[in-house]
Amino acid sequence: MAVLSEEQSMLRDAAKSWVQEQSPVGALRKLRGDGAGLGFDPAAWREMGQMGWAGVVIPEAHGGSEFGWLSLGLVLEEMGRTLAASPLLATSAAAAALTLGGTDDQKAEWLPKLAGGEVIGALAVDEGPHHAPGKIALKAERSAVGWTLTGAKTFVLDGMAADLLVVAARTSGQPGEASGITLFLVPGDAAGLKRQALKLADSRGAANISFEGVEVRQDAALAGGLDLLDQVLDRARALLAAEMLGSASQAFETTLDYLKTRVQFGQVIGSFQALQHRAAKMYVELELARSAVEAALAALDAQAPNAAELVSLAKTRAGETFHLVSNEMVQMHGGIGMTDEHDAGLYLKRARAAEAAFGGQAFHRDRYARLQGF
Amino acid sequence: MAVLSEEQSMLRDAAKSWVQEQSPVGALRKLRGDGAGLGFDPAAWREMGQMGWAGVVIPEAHGGSEFGWLSLGLVLEEMGRTLAASPLLATSAAAAALTLGGTDDQKAEWLPKLAGGEVIGALAVDEGPHHAPGKIALKAERSAVGWTLTGAKTFVLDGMAADLLVVAARTSGQPGEASGITLFLVPGDAAGLKRQALKLADSRGAANISFEGVEVRQDAALAGGLDLLDQVLDRARALLAAEMLGSASQAFETTLDYLKTRVQFGQVIGSFQALQHRAAKMYVELELARSAVEAALAALDAQAPNAAELVSLAKTRAGETFHLVSNEMVQMHGGIGMTDEHDAGLYLKRARAAEAAFGGQAFHRDRYARLQGF
Amino acid sequence: MADFGASDLDAFRTEVREWLAANYPPELRDGGAPTDPEAIWGGRRFEGSDDPQIVWMRRVAERGWTAPSWPKEYGGAGLSREQARIIEKELAAGGYRVPLASFGVWMLGPVLLEYASEEQKREHLPKIVRGEIRWCQGYSEPGAGSDLASLQTRCEDAGEHWKINGQKVWTSYADKADWCFCLVRTDTSKKHEGISFVLIDMSSPGVETRPIRLISGESPFCETFFNDVLVPKNNLVGRVNGGWDIAKRLLQYERQNISGGFGAGGGAGGVAGDLAQVAKDYVGTDEEGRLEDADLRARITRNKMDVHALQLTMARIAAEQKASNGPSAVTSIVKYAAASFAQERSELMVEAMGSQGLGWSGEGFSPDELRATRGWLRSKGNSIEGGTSEVNLNVIAKRVLGLPDPK
Amino acid sequence: MADFGASDLDAFRTEVREWLAANYPPELRDGGAPTDPEAIWGGRRFEGSDDPQIVWMRRVAERGWTAPSWPKEYGGAGLSREQARIIEKELAAGGYRVPLASFGVWMLGPVLLEYASEEQKREHLPKIVRGEIRWCQGYSEPGAGSDLASLQTRCEDAGEHWKINGQKVWTSYADKADWCFCLVRTDTSKKHEGISFVLIDMSSPGVETRPIRLISGESPFCETFFNDVLVPKNNLVGRVNGGWDIAKRLLQYERQNISGGFGAGGGAGGVAGDLAQVAKDYVGTDEEGRLEDADLRARITRNKMDVHALQLTMARIAAEQKASNGPSAVTSIVKYAAASFAQERSELMVEAMGSQGLGWSGEGFSPDELRATRGWLRSKGNSIEGGTSEVNLNVIAKRVLGLPDPK
């Protein structure tokens, strides 16, 4: 665990107790049963807004607390522990797009509402089954009032709930080219925007969204192309890695408890050396992942030049670790771990969904290597 | 273990007892100390010749027994157990080049001598640090008498001892192109041929060989280009895989014995479950490797259409298995395994050298995928 | 059993082929009319049914070909192993539906033949062959998973009957089965030597089943409760407290059966289809036709090679067993390797599909994609059911490699 | 120790920097004249030597900076941890040669400070600081590897002296050391409580050393034999049969020391150099500048990421320990992770070099290539020496995770 400032410790402790009390794993089960389509509980989200979580990475000038990415990561880690559902990650990523690429007017219009949680934001980037920011094809063409957007986005996290979509579009060039990308702010109620709710294995809210000649004003464009998109994505990735670290930590601790109590062959199964070594290896992976996640978040706060590299490292290691731990959680629980009644399956499903979102391990290993010219 | 014919069982048993008695691991230690440069004991090789091993894959019409590749694999597996040194693999591969691509005259000239072990053969293919049959650059140009060869070959197994070199050369095109390759028969004493003995970590005999305008006759060329080369290489690869399987099996058995006798913390260390599971996983790998190796050799005998795929499978799995087992051999022996006095280091060194020869695991995984159009 | 030569076998093959062609219900040809997928398991529910699948089962059963190597007096066909294999192969080669899927044929029958009384054989075996009774397996309990012998379901002497109280878990299809072969405790003072093997009619008063919902959303297993269930005395197989040997022998048949299903790289939950092709479709290829994601390509290739090596191993085991007429030690690796390769294959399948491999239901996902997701989840059970991978490794270490227990 | 503030530390840094610049022998600058590589270990052999490396050691030692945090009365400089770290950093930043490498400073000194008598401290510590005595570690025995406490070297009361008989193994540089700190058995009826910690002059009659040749061809370790070696009574540290606590404390210092060396992804045997660059040089790149062998590229990238994550972990541990003034549980993972990543790095290095990474000696191979081969072999010891990886995992499982021993 990183060395925290006093305000960070307080934030983390507050998040921990709120999450444990107000949003235990049972809350996700309830949402799953409801099938409301948003993927989170609006009342819980209002509370998070009141606690200021949506403003942690938003400048004080625009109504946030400006505590930074490491601080927000602490909150998400705690939420990850119970698989707590909320649009906090997506909203904070949208806020990052504004903070990094918005004009003063754009910021003044949107950031205070995002900071208070009144407006839910989301990133609309990918257009196929795999994360591929370079392959954007959705077209943005000049129109009388500004721009016309035509195309479709897939797997938009919290896309059903979003009031404000940050949409990556192509103003020129061909899919695969680095130049010609612009981010647009698109209100969720824009005409021609159609959403299809996705029922995912991990019960997280997501949508496919089509843009059938959606008109936006001239000032809907943010300043900065693929570079801006990459910076925004890196913030989403680092937050997701923090959340995954929390989920993996909880999955590990639950499994460890089981190892200490389940008896077979007259022994607590945690006394079997083969399981002990596997548990120890999970601990090693968790600690390495924690170091990478905290370093990535700190690098974003410091705007360090190697932040992108550290984010890919963090997302990869959090992914590998959660992958391993969620598999071992099922296996070490044996039959009971295969039942829907037990939480193991929930962590397993979340693991794969979180791995795939914003680039899986293979994507980030490749990106890490490319960033090092390898 | 494959189901064997009576003659195969006899051959295998004869090989086993000769190898155990005449060429135990100590024989390799002695060769290593001598540093004679050939990498094997000529007297032992004469005995192998007398036992008919050099003729196992040579047609009866040319003085061999024509028992086939699976049979020869059995011999090499036994030799692998004690890391027994001989030019049997290289000589048999050269014989394959003649059998598959030679004219009646060429066969009549060379095969009987190869079958009796009087002539030692070797393949000269690679020209850089990695196995890359497609990248051959050594030039063969038309001359008054036939061809002039100019270039250099690296890491030729048994290249110091070879009386007959099968040299892959380029008669047209550029390195990387599939067409334009021809195999040439080059006597070891040809003018302009220079050899440099390599002292390798695993003490196997090998040489770098340069061809400075080496003249060969018109009839030194074999019929068939890269396809022939690939078929010849597949035979060398399958034999090497069989040898590696034998080495890995012995490394495993030696380690298993140690697990059953070494006492620490008042227990035989083989009673520790973590080591038991690792031992069991090695056994699984060994059995999978055995299936692949035997299937590849049988496919060569049957000239099956999927022989190339099976050979890449066999070489990969033998490589992975020997890699794993040789590492575990050192680790499970602890300090004693790190000493030169113990055999673990010999198996470890041989493992990596054999992995690299004729294409490592990464090469053959890629080849396997390509063969399946993936 | 008659001793057949090669030419006799050829004649037999022709006979089988002709009979199958002549007797296959036309409704089932070429995909045919939809029939109840449960029908192939048979059982009381299908008594009198004219579902063509059931008709097919009855015709095959009449010849004893649902259990071809069982003796004729118990309803089998009394055929040799070679002949039985010919029937199996001809059924598969001709694209015929499986006539009967049955724990009775695969697991219970073989141990009844070995351990049961003549009366028990005559009572139960013919009904198994004819698919009249569907059986389930009452082995695992909540506190007895890998350590099966610690089971606690009590079986007490109640005069005319045994009285059974306790709970089983992981009973496959208990809610659809007619009878249950069950391990019970007849002596609480001993562990292995206090276990008996009894046959229980699931329609007996006091039997209750409750399906277990799995992480994949399916419910192929049940919890099964026995409350003062009375079982006739002669439903105990072998001797009282002698059930552990029968239990172990039956597990051997079960493992063979589970392992047999893994040959194609599938296993319970695995989805069909060429993993490489799926990856190409969802990820794309480069100008040389290779998968664009080189990292994923290498891992998929490894898995394909794993599965290939396992298939070769199973062929080798079959050849060795045929040559030696005895079991091969290599069999011990099959379940472990098959489970781990099948699980990895399922992982790669959903990874290749990306976000399309993460759907649960509803729009936005094709049926194949949803099957891949659920198949991936179901495959996690491969290394747990029928003996965990940990137990498999223990068995290899101790029985095959001879490594000792700690002192 | 003085309590320094930040500005005081800045002043101290300036002082150190100036002193080092002023006192570094000019012969050693810029790679400098070749000096005996053994010289940095000091010891009796170098008494009176004017090797510039020895001159440098003596100058630094005179200020107590070879053991800066040790008390002044024992030859140290009595500095704070922050100050000691400044000296370390300035030495590295200025490219100065290490003044003194010493098991005395790293391992023995700290436990003497804690457990030894005043007389023992005054006798041994100053000689360690000044590099006059080179120490070796007599711990492992042929029958006592991971299970160190099963050691059998006998230490008997012989009136004026202790009489020592037995054999040690893996004694690093015993053939070059002047004294040995040694674990011996003073009570054969107990295991841990029968062990004592004694200091032995290696020039005593009856001491014999025999270098062990490793698989890498080097001989950094010895077998050490004690035949009726007489040791003065007051060379026993702590109480008789109380050596095990001292032994364990010393092992903590040793592990810190071994782990500390792994930060750069090296470890004993690892060769320097950028693995990615080596791979590019030997394998080649595609038109996008990526390694041509995509399979190898993915594996090298994994290893680079492993090493990176470990470096970040070590930085985190340092920050946590500084903040809490206490040890971090995370330290337990360092040795295990460092060994396995360093070994994998060495494997990838020789794999990338292909046949050029398999040379042993002679022509055809560059010095870097030969170093890679031998470094790879040497790295296999990383997961054995100073506590095997198996023992590391046991420790994590039991002490950090609280998993129980079997009943």
Residue type, A145: V
- Does D355 contact chain B (CB < 8 Å)? yes
Asked if C295 is an interface residue toward chain D (Cβ–Cβ < 8 A), one would say yes
Is C297 near chain D, with CB under 8 Å?
A: yes
User: Taking each helix axis from N to C terminus, what angle separates C367-379 and A344-356, rounded to the nearest 10 degrees?
Assistant: 130
- What does CATH list as the number for B122-223? 2.40.110.10
Asked if A265 and C355 come within 8 Å (Cβ–Cβ), the reply is no
User: Which pLDDT belongs to residue A35?
Assistant: 63
Mean pLDDT of all residues in C74-98: 92
> Chain A 328-357, CB below 8 Å of chain C: which residues?
330-331, 334-335, 337-341, 344-345, 348-349, 352-353, 356-357
Regions of chain D with pLDDT less than 70: 1-5, 33-34, 257-270
Residue B239: pLDDT over 80: yes
The proportion of chain C whose per-residue pLDDT surpasses 90, expressed as a percent, equals 78
Put simply, the answer to whether B267 touches C407 (Cβ < 8 Å) is yes
- Distance (Å) from the alpha carbon of D269 to chain C's nearest alpha carbon: 29
Write out chain A residues lying below 8 Å of B273, CB-based: 272-274
The reported pLDDT for the residue numbered C255 is: 73
pLDDT tens per residue, range A217-240: 999 999 999 999 999 999 999 999
Q: What is the pLDDT of residue D269?
A: 65
Task: Name the minimum distance, in Å, from the CA of A273 to any CA of chain C.
Answer: 11
Same fold for the domain at D135-241 and the one at D246-400?
Answer: no
Closest residue in A to D321 (Cα) is A3
Q: Is A255 on the interface with D (CB under 8 A)?
A: no
Q: What is the pLDDT of residue C327?
A: 75
Q: Which fold does the domain C246-400 belong to in CATH? A: Butyryl-CoA Dehydrogenase, subunit A; domain 3 (1.20.140)
What is the ipTM score, two decimals? 0.93
Contact with chain D for residue A5, Cβ under 8 A: no
The DSSP secondary structure of D53-106, one letter per residue, reads HHHHHHHHHHTTTTSTTS-GGGTS----HHHHHHHHHHHHHTTPPPS---HIII
The catalytic residue positions of C are 254
Task: Give how far D302 is from chain C: nearest CA, Å.
Answer: 11
Asked if A366 has any chain D CB less than 8 Å from its own CB, the reply is yes
Does D388 contact B337 at a Cβ distance shorter than 8 Å?
no
Distances in Å between the alpha carbon of B363 and those of B97, B244, B357? 22, 17, 11
Intervals of CATH 2.40.110.10 along chain B: 122-223
Q: Which chains touch B (3 or more CB pairs under 8 A)?
A: A, C, D
Average model confidence (pLDDT) across chain C:
91
Tell me the mean pLDDT in the region B185-206: 96
User: With an 8 Å Cβ cutoff, are D305 and A313 in contact?
Assistant: yes
What tens digit of pLDDT does each residue of B70-102 get? 999 999 999 999 999 999 999 999 999 999 999
Q: pTM of the predicted model, to two decimals?
A: 0.93
**Cβ contacts of C287 on chain D, cutoff 8 Å:** none
In this predicted structure, what is the pLDDT of residue D262? 41
Closest residue to B295, CB basis, from C302, C312, C323: C312
Closest CA to A183 of A249, A96, A89: A96
**pLDDT digit string, tens, across residues C109-163:** 999 999 999 999 999 999 999 999 999 999 999 988 889 999 999 999 999 999 9
Residue A293 at interface with chain D, using a CB cutoff of 8 Å: no
In this complex, how many residue pairs, one in chain A and one in chain D, have their CB atoms less than 8 Å apart?
115
User: Mutate which of D219, D380, D391, D395 to disrupt the B interface (most B C-beta within 10 Å)?
Assistant: D380
The pLDDT value given to residue C263? 35
The CATH class given to the B227-372 domain equals: mainly alpha
pLDDT digits (tens, 9 = 90+) for B278-335: 999 999 999 999 999 999 999 999 999 999 999 999 999 999 999 999 999 999 999 9
CA atoms of B155 and B195, how far apart (whole Å): 11
Please check whether residue C390 touches A, CB under 8 A.
Answer: yes
> Do residues B92 and B258 make contact, with C-beta atoms less than 8 angstroms apart?
no
Per-residue pLDDT band for A2 (boundaries 50, 70, 90) equals confident
User: Token pair for residue D183?
Assistant: 């674990």
The domain C6-129 having CATH identifier 1.10.8.640: the answer here is: no
Residue of chain C with shortest Cα separation from B269 = C406
pLDDT digits (tens, 9 = 90+) for B129-184: 999 998 999 999 999 999 999 999 999 999 999 999 999 999 999 998 989 999 99
Report the percent of chain A where pLDDT is more than 70.
99
CATH architecture of the domain with residue range A6-118: Orthogonal Bundle (1.10)
Q: Give catalytic residue positions of D.
A: 254
Cα separation, D384 vs B8, whole angstroms: 43
Find the angle CA(C37)-CA(C42)-CA(C46) to the nearest 5 degrees.
Answer: 90
The yes-or-no verdict on residue A241 having pLDDT over 90 is: yes
- CB contact, 8 Å: B30 with chain C? no
Mean pLDDT of B236-262: 98
Domain range annotation of chain D: 6-129, 135-241, 246-400
Q: What is the dihedral of CA A266, A267, A272, A275, to 10 degrees?
A: 110
Q: How many of the other CB atoms lie within 10 Å of CB of B187? A: 16
Set of chain B residues whose Cβ sits within 8 Å of the Cβ of C322: 3
3-state secondary structure of B216: strand
pLDDT at A87 > cutoff 90? yes
Mean pLDDT computed over C379-390: 92
Nearest to D364 among B196, B265, B344 (CB): B196
Closest CA in chain B for residue C280 = B374
Residue-wise burial string across B233-265, b where 16 or more C-beta atoms lie within 10 A, e elsewhere: bbbbbbbbbbbbbbbbbbbbebbbebbeebebe
CA angle B17, B22, B28 (to 5 degrees): 120
CB contact under 8 A, C336 and B284: yes
Neighbours of B9 (CB within 10 A): 12
Substitution target from B254, B262, B284 for chain C, most C beta carbons within 10 A: B284
State the average pLDDT for chain A: 96
**Over the stretch A120-169, which tens digit does the pLDDT of each residue have?**
999 999 999 999 998 999 999 999 999 999 999 999 999 999 999 999 99
Quickly count: other Cβ atoms within 10 Å of residue D347's Cβ: 19
Q: What is the pLDDT of residues B262-278, one digit of tens each?
A: 999 899 999 999 999 99
pLDDT tens, position by position, A244-298: 999 999 999 999 999 999 999 899 999 999 999 999 999 999 999 999 999 999 9
| Closest listed residue to residue B76, CA positions, set B326, B308, B354 | B354
pLDDT > 90: percent of chain A: 96
CATH number of this structure's domain C135-241: 2.40.110.10
Report the alpha-carbon distance of residue B272 to residue B92 in Å, rounded: 44
From B63's Cα to the closest Cα of chain D, the distance in A is 35
**Per-residue model confidence (pLDDT) at position C72:** 96
With a cut of 70, say whether residue C15 has pLDDT above it: yes
C:184-203 residues touching chain D, CB 8 A cutoff: none
Quick check: D290 contacting A, CB < 8 Å? yes
Residue D20: Cβ within 10 Å count = 20
Tokens of A255: 């499994």
Q: Identify all chain A residues contacting C295, using CB atoms and an 8 Å cutoff.
A: 362, 365-366
| CB B177, CB B213: distance < 8 Å | no
Give yes or no for C160 touching A (CB within 8 A): no
Q: B-chain residues within 8 Å CB-CB of C403? A: 256, 259-260, 270-271, 275-276, 279
pLDDT value at residue B36: 56
- For residue A9, pLDDT over 90 is answered with yes
The verdict on C318 touching B (C-beta cutoff 8 Å) is: no
Closest CA to B214 of B161, B157, B145: B145
